[in-house]
Amino acid sequence: MFFHRKELQFHAKPDAPDAVFAKQLQEVIGGQYGEMTVAMQYLFQGWSTRGHERYRDLLMDTGTQELGHIEMLATMVARLLEGAPAYEQEKAAADPVVGAILGGMNPQHAIVHGLGASPKDSNGVPWNAGYIIASGNLLADFRSNVNAESQGRLQVARLYSMTDDKGVKEMLSFLLARDTMHQNQWLAAIKEMEAKEGVIVPSTVPPEWEASEYSHIHFTNSETSTSSQLSWLHETAPDGHNFTVEKPEPMGEAPILKPAPPEAHDTLPEDKLK
């Protein structure tokens, strides 16, 4: 059960309106690595966690915080649009869409959303539930969480560099800090789980299932590849085995497919063509 408080998790008030930056800020709301993605990712991972109450609480706590981040960002977008010359641009251009585009803003902010944020990215592409990962394997999921937080923090840092508004920078600074915390917590949780399960996911695969003679070979698939010079390839692998480096050789025969049935209407085989 969720509860809502009127107060924001952190300040979300710009110094001045900026419709263009409002459009750019949409990326960290509804983009692939935006706050909507991490919020839903953590919540769905938490809701399906079985037998690990501590990790379930960690996921639910963090997912709930991310909902607060969406609220902050949506508020910031709405305030960046307050006083922005959205409708004046439209009148000047005679065509509202052309006017908005010429001004560099998202025309949907004015036409569709009444100067408010939306669950979309900076190009107006709607948020997609396909962005989230919730596999039921916590070690695999936590590694996905590190990636999500890494990409999210990268995008926030880029946005920080794209504005001079002190109010916006203050909020983005808070988000950078929270992304640091979340990367650290997932990395720490991964380390804890790896100590118990090993580093390869899933750890429950029976040994006889895997062709282990190929498990630690790095194939250099290019005559000009320098990947064999990576130092870690000449050390022990994280799972305790030794890496080897080899040039790939074919291990299977050239494939020959049987002719398709007549109802497929494929091209006839060479020996059937006149």
10-residue stretch averages of pLDDT, the chain, 274 residues long: 93 94 97 98 97 96 97 97 70 56 76 91 96 98 98 98 97 97 97 95 94 92 88 93 91 90 85 72
Q: Is residue 87 part of a domain?
A: yes
Q: Is 210 annotated as a binding residue?
A: no
Using alpha carbons, select from 150, 152, 182, 172 the residue that is nearest to residue 80. Answer: 172
Query: At a CB cut-off of 8 Å and minimum separation 6, what does 44 contact?
Result: 132, 134
Q: Is 69 annotated as a binding residue?
A: yes
Q: Is 149 annotated as a binding residue?
A: yes
Q: Is residue 12 part of a domain?
A: no
Roughly how many angstroms between the first and final C-alpha of the chain, as a whole number? 72
Same domain, 159 and 111: yes
C-alpha pair distances (Å), 89 with each of 16, 38, 124, 134, 246: 18, 35, 19, 44, 63
Same domain, 226 and 191: no
pLDDT the model gives residue 232: 92
Q: Is 216 annotated as a binding residue?
A: no
Q: Is residue 173 part of a domain?
A: yes
Q: Is 7 annotated as a binding residue?
A: no
Look up the CATH number of the domain holding residue 183. 1.20.1260.10
Count of domains observed in the chain: 2
Same domain, 213 and 165: no
C-alpha pair distances (Å), 136 with each of 54, 117, 188, 202: 15, 32, 19, 11
Q: Is residue 5 part of a domain?
A: no
Same domain, 144 and 24: yes
- The domain in which residue 163 lies consists of 19-197
Same domain, 217 and 161: no
Using alpha carbons, select from 2, 3, 168 the residue that is nearest to residue 72. Answer: 168
Report pTM. 0.88
Rg for the chain (alpha carbons), in Å?
26
Sole residue written with tokens 């004046």: 88
